Amino acid sequence: MIQLTNVSKIYPNGARALVDVNLKIGKGSFVFLVGPSGAGKSTLIKLLYREETPTRGQVQINSKNLVRMKDREVPYLRRNIGVIFQDFKLLPNKTVFENVAFALEVIGVAKSEVRNRTLATLELVGLKAKETAYPHELSGGEQQRVCVARAIINNPALLVADEPTGNLDPDTAWDIMELLYDINKRGTTIVMATHARAIVNKMQKRVIAIENGRVARDEEKGGYGYDA
């Protein structure tokens, strides 16, 4: 589903974020990206939803070449890719319902369908009772659930997550991981960058370690592999 071929990324300031990365990630997989800060994990994630393009090499998702993709095609790509961040990025003046519904409204989904799908997705993430709350009225875990709902409402083939549990306490982090686990079980491919050692060790999924912009390790059912 995802293929990176000889991918290098050098930022305009000269930072070498990725160096000759080759990767294949199959449909339906759950992959952790681990490695020290500054290793290139976020950059790799950004290439997947075309927030960045590589300096060299190819990025393909479902046989679509993201490097050659025209800017006007990017919104269509993003409909099929959900993105979750560490710092939630919810709209502060919109309710839970509005934050999630917005993802459908911008692509022109009919109003009645927006309502049904938004409520169904809020139910899935366990937040139906909070539909009229504003982000500042929610706990961190609840805010991240809203982000998960927003990311999956279009039923994307791919969900990418950059440190999604980074701002959460351990118990809440596990709640979010259970949600991501269930979403993966339903068929969505998940690529998640994380420093959450306990989560990576427990989940026994594929682990790709990035160090100095290169793939340093790639193991099925891997462990975190770094000291705390």
Q: How far is the CB of 33 from ligand ADP (least distance, A)?
A: 8
Taking the least distance from each CB to ligand ADP, the nearer of 13 and 112 is 13
Nearer to ligand ADP, 28 or 36 (CB): 36
Tell me whether residue 38 or residue 225 sits nearer to ligand ADP (CB atom): 38
Binding mask 31-70 for ligand ADP (x = CB under 6 A): ----x-xxxxxxx---------------------------
User: Least distance from C-beta 80 to ligand ADP, angstroms?
Assistant: 23
Which range, of 7-15, 75-83, 96-104, 173-181, touches ligand ADP by CB under 6 A? Answer: 7-15
Which of 6, 11, 22, 182 contacts ligand ADP by CB under 6 A? 11
Size of the site for ligand ADP (CB under 6 A): 12
* Candidate list 2, 4, 17, 160; residue touching ligand ADP; CB under 6 A: 17
Strand pairing category for 189-193 and 206-211: unpaired
Q: Output the smallest distance, CB 18 to ligand ADP, in A.
A: 8
Amino acid (one-letter) located at 200: V
Q: Please, which residue, 135 or 222, has the CB nearer to ligand ADP?
A: 222
3-state secondary structure the chain: CEEEEEEEEECCCCCEEEEEEEEEECCCCEEEEECCCCCCHHHHHHHHCCCCCCCEEEEEECCEECCCCCHHHHHHHHHCEEEECCCCCCCCCCCHHHHHHHHHHCCCCCHHHHHHHHHHHHHHCCCHHHCCCCHHHCCHHHHHHHHHHHHHCCCCCEEEEECCCCCCCHHHHHHHHHHHHHHHHCCCEEEEECCCHHHHHHHCCEEEEEECCEEEEEECCCCCCCCC
Q: In angstroms, what is the minimal distance from the CB of 57 to ligand ADP? A: 16
Separation of alpha carbons 204 and 210, rounded Å:
18
**Least distance from C-beta 67 to ligand ADP, angstroms?**
18
Minimum CB–partner distance for residue 79 and ligand ADP (Å): 25
Site for ligand ADP, rule CB under 6 A: 11, 13, 15, 17, 35, 37-43
